[in-house]
Homo-oligomer: A and B are copies of this chain.
């Protein structure tokens, strides 16, 4: 993924968007920030298993893609807060149908067609 927004070569909008959310933790970061702005340490706790390096790298990419805003407070101790930009909010909204699909078709195995709702 590195820095999303590869030079040209997008076939359609979907793979362009995939390039923005293509990191392993990116949609989860967006999901967490969707609920409220978070500090670095908070995000780390929200995403069990992510390393600092990867979290920092994903945040920088999301910032470069204009979906995450980074607000740095020049205090001691240092404080940085991440939040969604309007673009990030709209991305999250565009992701919602996909989330619903995943819930219905991946997370809820049975109870799809019209039979045996457990």
Residues of A within 8 A of B (CB): 5, 10-21, 27-28, 31, 65-66, 86-87, 90-91, 93-107, 112-113, 117-118
Contact = CB atoms under 8 A, between A and B. Distances in A.
Nearest to A47: B11
Given A14-B31, A16-B107, A94-B100, 17 more contacts: A5-B106, A11-B28, A12-B28, A13-B100, A13-B103, A13-B107, A14-B28, A17-B101, A18-B21, A19-B106, A66-B105, A87-B112, A90-B105, A91-B101, A91-B105, A94-B97, A94-B98
Which secondary structure dominates where chain A touches chain B? Answer: helix
By Cβ-Cβ distance, the 8 closest A-B pairs, closest first, are A13-B102, A17-B102, A13-B103, A16-B102, A94-B101, A16-B106, A14-B99, A13-B99
